[in-house]
């Protein structure tokens, strides 16, 4: 598969997701925090809200999927209600377990929205031995008893045994095997060489023994309720995949499943069967070989953990990495060296030669950097207001009378003040020396010389250092577009827009419009965690209405669409949705840069748009925040950015 991502804002054309599976409904209250949840969620309602997200993705990435053979939109007005119950979307199947799911074996390579559950089902039906090995690995990690492992493996053996004679049963067996890996619930048991379905009633039994075998179904390991956040487990960097190493045990199975998908599908080389698994396109890092020798008290300093929410391919030569609650400093050291070393294709002229590390406080509310910032457009960012030094300075001016005494009384050193900062920025640059060693390594034919070049490369200090006495300028780093150390997060993002996207001015949208306590409340429900469908078109949650209004304010005057009746309809819907007072004197103040996905669907249905008309409408939408229903989705503690793993983006038109 052709994978390539070189920005956060290029037009998205292919993405991998994971629909909320039944495992989310199996999270016990006693395990909430261990399994990284703050509350239990209604599994049926979260699936319904997520279905709207899927429809939105398909509208922008693969519109034709949403139109049937009769040329009509697959949803019907009578099926759409404020609260949709399970299975009400009968004309469009978005459950990967169902026969008429919108992706199948024939169109999988052309599909724009790929679900991990469907991919696993597809691979289980195609590769028997690899699937058996995957189950072996997972059962070993989870400490599953040998006879339960054999029960699970027997499902795969049976699926391939009856593949030709009974393809329907074979498909169901693959689906059920994947369900067990996701939910932990074993639904088959091997008895006397026969595979018994524990979910069916035993009609041969009578009297007190006549009971459902469903009572025998058991949980052999925990579910993976966080797999919905695919971005955390895998990140596309240029034409490579970075498989992550999560901090918490509950997410380890997700990594094994994602690597299985990467090796057997995403990095599958169809043109060379002998080199089917092109593992050179898969990147990961781990602890040092001698990590086990360290005393337990010393191991935390050398621990390697990193998650995809802390890694953003921000331009064709620049990567952002967050140092946070979930990503350790030692992991960053290894990632910097590894990514600079790899020959990652971004475009014909550039490679990744700049890595900016954003160190944020280790808080549950900001577990990754994508929970506090998103790149919306070449010249637009959204940021959690307390992390902006510009916002902080404005707040300090309001309290200048108090602060002028406090600073003097505390008598803190500059180093102490630096440690207390909410954000600290470090930048690394590959530089001339690193590029020359890489070139010499690629040119060398002698293995000893190659080893020496690699060893020499590992010893390079890539950190950009500033001369504090000389206006904070970087020293001795030729050809680097960054000439001075960023004063903070606001300054770094502004520099990126100016130096790498050629923008003269930069706009910042603030969580909760920068007004306490709403800035923190809305950041908690992922106001800053946005997926960008194309430059200027973002996806967020409808409960963060102050952030949405600030988005509208910052985009005021920019084009929304060339369909006046569409804009008028959306403005009317927003005034009702936001209970906004109409502004007849200033049309630019209208809430036209906010679009709820329900209103978009309603417009397509009300106007009876066909495929061609819908595609033109979608293409015309610009500079808009599209809102998702989010009562349950937001309680899972992740936004649209977390829930998507882009596989391909077109390069931004204005990237240098």
Mean pLDDT of 33-39: 89
Strands in 476-520 per DSSP E: 507-510
Least confident piece of the model among 69-73, 400-404, 423-427, 540-544 = 400-404
The pLDDT tens digits of the residues spanning 528-549 come to 999 999 999 999 999 999 999 9
DSSP element (H, E) containing 257: helix 252-261
pTM score, whole prediction: 0.92
Instruction: Say what the pLDDT of residue 380 is.
Output: 98
Residue 164, SS3 per DSSP: coil
DSSP 3-state of 139: helix
Structure tokens at 505: 């001015």
Q: With contact defined as beta carbons under 8 Å apart, do 655 and 501 qualify?
A: yes
Separation of alpha carbons 54 and 63, rounded Å: 11
Nearest to 15 by CA among 120, 104, 122, 111: 111
Residue 381: beta bridge partners? 375, 508
Give the dihedral sign, CA 557/516/382/258: negative
Q: With contact defined as beta carbons under 8 Å apart, do 647 and 1 qualify?
A: yes
Taking the C-alpha atoms of residue 9 and residue 378, their distance in angstroms, rounded to an integer, is 8
Calculate helix-pair angle for 116-126, 128-142, nearest 10 degrees.
120
CA–CA dist 186, 636 (Å, integer): 25
Would you place residue 271 in the very low, low, confident or very high pLDDT band (cuts 50, 70, 90)?
A: low
**CB proximity list for 46: less than 8 A, separation 6 or greater:** 20, 24, 632, 633, 636
How crowded is residue 580: how many other Cβ atoms within 10 Å of its Cβ? 17
Side-chain-facing half-sphere of 535: CA atoms under 13 Å: 18
CA–CA dist 126, 270 (Å, integer): 14
User: For 499-512, what is each residue's pLDDT tens digit?
Assistant: 999 999 999 999 99
Q: Is the pLDDT of residue 221 over 60?
A: yes
Are 530 and 640 a contacting pair, CB within 8 Å? yes
β-strands 537-541, 624-628 pairing? parallel
Could you tell me the pLDDT band of residue 184, with boundaries at 50, 70 and 90? very high
Q: What is the pLDDT of residue 198?
A: 83
- How many whole angstroms separate alpha carbon 227 and alpha carbon 326? 16
Give the C-alpha separation, 373 to 489, whole Å: 9
> Do residues 267 and 282 make contact, with C-beta atoms less than 8 angstroms apart?
yes
pLDDT in tens, 446-487: 999 999 999 999 999 999 998 877 778 898 677 888 999 999
Q: Tell me the C-alpha distance between 35 and 435, whole Å.
A: 43
Contacting residues for 218 by C-beta, under 8 A, at least 6 apart: 185, 186
C-alpha 450/C-alpha 445 separation (Å) is 7
SS3 197: strand
First CA to last CA distance, the chain: 26
| Average pLDDT rounded to a whole number, residues 209-224 | 70
Indicate the SS3 state at residue 498. helix
| Strand 311-315 with 318-323, pairing | antiparallel
Q: Residue for token digits 């000893």?
A: 448
Residue 402: predicted pLDDT: 56
Q: Are 331 and 310 in contact (CB under 8 A)?
A: no
pLDDT value of position 149 = 95
Q: What are the tokens at 601? A: 């669907």
* 245 backbone dihedrals φ, ψ, rounded to 5°: -135, 85
Q: In what order do the strands lie in the sheet with 531-534?
A: 531-534, 537-541, 624-628, 594-596
Q: What is the CB neighbour count within 10 angstroms for residue 397?
A: 9
Note whether 53 and 15 are within 8 A (CB). no
pLDDT at 112 over 80: yes
């Amino acid at each position: 598969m052709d994978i390539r991502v070189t920005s956060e804002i290029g037009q998205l054309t292919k993405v991998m997701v994971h629909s909320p599976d039944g495992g989310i409904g199996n999270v016990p209250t006693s395990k909430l925090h261990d399994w990284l949840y703050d509350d239990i969620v209604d599994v049926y309602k979260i699936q319904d809200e997520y279905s709207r997200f899927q429809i939105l993705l398909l509208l922008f990435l693969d519109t034709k999927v949403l139109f049937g053979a009769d040329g009509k939109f697959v949803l019907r007005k009578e099926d759409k209600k404020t609260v949709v119950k399970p299975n009400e979307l009968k004309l469009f199947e978005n459950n990967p377990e169902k026969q008429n799911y919108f992706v199948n074996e024939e169109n999988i390579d052309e599909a724009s929205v790929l679900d991990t559950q469907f991919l696993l089902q597809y691979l289980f039906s195609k590769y028997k031995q690899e699937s058996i090995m995957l189950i072996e690995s997972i059962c070993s990690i989870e400490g599953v008893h040998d006879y339960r492992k054999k029960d699970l493996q027997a499902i795969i053996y049976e699926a391939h045994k009856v593949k030709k004679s009974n393809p329907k049963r074979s498909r169901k067996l693959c689906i059920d095997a994947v369900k067990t890996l996701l939910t932990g619930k074993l639904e088959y048991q091997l008895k006397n060489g026969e595979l018994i379905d524990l979910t069916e009633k035993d009609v041969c039994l009578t009297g007190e023994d006549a009971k459902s075998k469903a009572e025998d179904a058991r949980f052999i390991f925990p579910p993976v309720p966080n797999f919905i956040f695919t971005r955390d487990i895998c990140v596309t960097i240029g034409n490579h995949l970075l498989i992550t190493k999560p901090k918490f045990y509950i997410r380890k199975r997700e990594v094994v499943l994602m690597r299985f998908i990467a090796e057997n599908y995403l990095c599958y080389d169809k043109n060379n069967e002998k080199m089917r698994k092109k593992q050179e396109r898969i990147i990961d890092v781990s602890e040092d070989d001698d990590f086990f020798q360290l005393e337990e008290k010393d191991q935390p300093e050398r621990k390697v953990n990193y998650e995809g929410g802390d890694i953003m391919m921000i331009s064709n030569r620049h990567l952002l990495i967050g140092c946070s609650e979930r990503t350790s400093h030692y992991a960053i050291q290894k990632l910097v060296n590894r990514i600079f070393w790899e020959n990652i294709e971004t475009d014909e002229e550039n490679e990744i030669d700049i890595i900016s590390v954003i160190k944020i406080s280790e808080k549950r509310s900001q577990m990754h950097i994508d929970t506090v910032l998103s790149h919306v457009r070449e010249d637009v960012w959204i940021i959690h207001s307390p992390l902006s030094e510009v916002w902080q300075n404005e707040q300090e001016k309001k309290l200048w009378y108090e602060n002028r005494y406090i600073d003097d009384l505390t008598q803190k050193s500059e180093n102490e003040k630096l440690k207390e900062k909410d954000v600290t920025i470090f930048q690394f640059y590959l530089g001339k020396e690193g590029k020359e060693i890489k070139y010499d390594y690629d040119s060398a034919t002698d293995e000893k010389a190659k080893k020496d070049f690699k060893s020499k490369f590992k010893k390079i200090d890539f950190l950009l250092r500033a001369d504090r006495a000389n206006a904070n300028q970087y020293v001795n780093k030729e050809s680097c577009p960054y000439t001075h150390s960023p004063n903070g997060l606001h300054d770094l993002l502004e520099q990126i827009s100016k130096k790498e996207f050629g923008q003269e001015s930069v706009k910042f949208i603030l969580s909760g419009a920068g007004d306490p306590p709403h800035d923190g409340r809305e950041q908690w429900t992922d106001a800053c965690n946005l997926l960008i469908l194309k430059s200027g078109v973002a996806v967020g949650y409808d409960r963060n209405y102050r952030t949405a209004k600030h988005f509208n304010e910052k985009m005021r005057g920019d084009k929304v669409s060339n369909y006046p009746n569409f804009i008028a309809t959306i403005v009317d819907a927003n005034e009702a949705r936001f209970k906004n007072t109409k502004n007849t004197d200033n049309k630019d103040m209208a809430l036209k840069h906010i679009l709820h996905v329900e209103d978009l669907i309603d417009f397509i249905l009300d106007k009876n748009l066909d495929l061609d008309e819908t595609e033109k409408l979608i293409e015309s939408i610009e500079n808009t925040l599209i809102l998702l229903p989010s009562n349950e989705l937001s309680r899972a503690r992740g936004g649209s950015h977390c829930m998507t793993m882009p596989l391909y983006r077109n390069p931004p038109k204005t990237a240098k």
